[in-house]
Amino acid sequence: MSITEKDLYRDTPVRYLGYANEIGEAFRPVIKKIFVHASYAVAISYVLADTADKSKKQYDKPEILGGGFRGAAVASGDTLLWQMFASVIIPGFTINRICWLSKAALKANKVKGPVGKWGPTLLGLLAIPFIIHPIDSAVDYAMDNTYRKYVK
């Protein structure tokens, strides 16, 4: 991919679909679980679409990893692993724990009413922009020292 070529899954608002599960986790304290699960379906669909896109591009344009099946398989593995950890697993767990801890703290301090009900959701939503870059960097580091190190 050239520097000027725009990546639909990383350089456009489509990228926000990867954060759907974080929104779902933030709202977990106030919505039914089916909606939280649906948010994961949206995020995982985004990951699979990005994986298919990167695989096809690598198969067709073998400049970096070589083309054909091997290049496509390496690109698919890289994209799938990176996206699942950086977009779904780690952020979902992080927001879940932030909301759980804040709900427990509010309950322990006998905070009720709208603050007790919506406080954890608000904290979860506010945390999302702050967790994205550290998680992405950590996953990049982990991928560079594991998967990417052995498949090149």
* Mutual angle of helices 20-27 and 33-60, in 10-degree steps: 170
pLDDT in tens, 135-144: 999 999 999 9
Type of residue numbered 100: W
For 15-36, give one letter per residue: b (16+ CB within 10 A) or e.
eebbbbbbbbbbbbbeeeeeeb
Give yes or no for a contact between 58 and 74, defined as CB atoms under 8 angstroms apart: yes
Residue 27 has pLDDT above 50, yes or no: yes
Q: pLDDT digit string (tens) for 5-21?
A: 788 888 888 988 999 99
How close are the terminal C-alpha atoms of the chain, in Å? 18
Report the pLDDT averaged over residues 104-115: 96
pLDDT score at 87? 94
pTM: 0.88
Q: Mind giving me the DSSP string for 51-109?
A: HHHHHHHHHH--TTT-SHHHHHHHHHHHHHHHHIIIIIIHHHHHHHHHHHHHHHHHHHT
Among 88, 85, 61, CA closest to 75: 61
Average model confidence (pLDDT) for the chain?
92
44-73 per-position pLDDT tens digit: 999 999 999 999 888 887 666 566 788 889
